[in-house]
A = this chain, B = another copy of it.
Amino acid sequence: MTVAQRVQRVRARLSGADVLLVSDLTNVRWLTGFTGSNGWVVIGPDSMTLVTDGRYGQQAAAQLAAAGVEADVLVGATGAATLEHIAATCAPFATVGFEATSVTYAQHGQYRAALTATLVPTSGVVEAERRIKDSDEIESIARACRIADAVLAEVVPSLGDGLTEAQVRNRLELRMRELGASGPSYDTIVATGPINAALPHHRPTDTLIEPGHTVIIDVGALVDGYHSDMTRTFVVGAPTALQTKLYELVLTAQRAGVAAVAAGMSVKELDGVCRGIIADAGYGDWFTHGTGHGVGLLIHEDPFVNRAGDAILQVGDVVTVEPGVYREGFGGVRVEDLVVVTSDGCRVLTASPKDSPCLPSPPTT
């Protein structure tokens, strides 16, 4: 599967419109390799056209060529000129599908005024194909996972050294870049102690990491535009009975989730595997978020793995499995791996140790 073949997958899925006007920039990138901040793709029955503005003409041609994608590139000097290019490209067709969940009301009004075709709202056409990763995409994500594994291994020995959350975050993000990531995959989470670790999306502060704390580190790298995502939880010093109990509970739930992943399974069912174990132990109220989400060119994308979802896992889905428990006064525990769904279960892309929350013992002097 190559980038150039993706458009054919989308064509096969399009119904109810002669052409598809793709305006979501992540979808544009996935279809063409083009990474500019301004672009539209018009997918016709036998053709593909990329429209962008004057800043990006050269870049677009170069990136399409690098991706092996054949498409006409039309460059407009102004917003009005790009809209005219879109209109001219769509002119031979009676119906034009547009992306109703990303096109704004105002943009829709502009399309309606400029295009002669009937506009047909569509939802998730490209996204439905984009969630299925090909081997190159999986390799980029796996590389990102390896970088995050490496930087986490570097900082773990220092977690008992009296650093702040922000210092650990700074070190992780710097080292990911030095190891070849184009950046962090998202704002790295370092959350320590009874207050901060109880917030699933805590932002690192100057809070000191101290003995007795649970420390949640949620870190990923960005490689070739693809994201990784992983969480590990640590305890500074000897764990309390409750810390040990909840760590083992979350780890059991997380391992059961990973073991359950299978093509054809509903996301609701996968969520239920992790949630059931935690609820059966009496901590259902402490698990305050979904079990996971898809990861790719976006850090959060289809399929979302939660109680309300109706998606079915497919071979090539890359999803997180990340149950957690949180309570102010206790702190929190989350264990997260990134997996790719295969024909016989899944392959786990993240490899950091998770057997125990205990930090390495300090070297004996």
Contacts and interface: CB of A to CB of B under 8 A. Distances in A.
Given A170-B177, A178-B170, A101 B104 contact: yes
Nearest to A121: B105
Interface in A102-137: 102-106, 108-109, 121, 123
B106 A104 contact: no
A166 interface: yes
A177 B308 CA distance: 38
Interface in A142-173: 166, 169-170, 173
A16 B177 CA distance: 51
Nearest to A108: B105
A174 interface: yes
Contact of A106 (B123, B177, B203): B123
Contacts of A55: 200-201, 288-289
Contact residue range for chain A?
A: 20 to 34
A199 to B, nearest CB: 9
A100 interface: yes
Contact of A308 (B78, B103, B121, B166): B78
Contact of A104 (B105, B109, B169, B187): B105
Contacts of A98: 105
Question: What 9 A-B pairs are tightest by C-beta distance, nearest first?
Answer: A100-B106, A100-B105, A101-B106, A105-B108, A103-B105, A174-B174, A170-B177, A101-B104, A170-B174
Nearest to A36: B201
Interface of A: 55, 78, 98, 100-106, 108-109, 121, 123, 166, 169-170, 173-174, 177-178, 182-183, 187, 200-201, 203, 288-289, 308
Contacts of A203: 182
A98 B105 CA distance: 10
Given A55-B201, A105-B105, 20 more contacts: A55-B288, A78-B308, A98-B105, A100-B105, A100-B106, A100-B109, A101-B106, A103-B104, A103-B105, A104-B104, A104-B105, A105-B121, A106-B123, A109-B121, A169-B177, A170-B177, A173-B173, A173-B174, A174-B174, A183-B187
A50 to B, nearest CB: 19
Contacts of A201: 55
29 contacts: A55-B200, A55-B201, A55-B288, A55-B289, A78-B308, A98-B105, A100-B104, A100-B105, A100-B106, A100-B109, A101-B104, A101-B105, A102-B104, A103-B104, A104-B105, A105-B105, A105-B108, A105-B121, A106-B123, A109-B121, A166-B177, A169-B177, A170-B174, A170-B177, A173-B173, A173-B174, A174-B174, A182-B203, A183-B187
A106 B78 contact: no
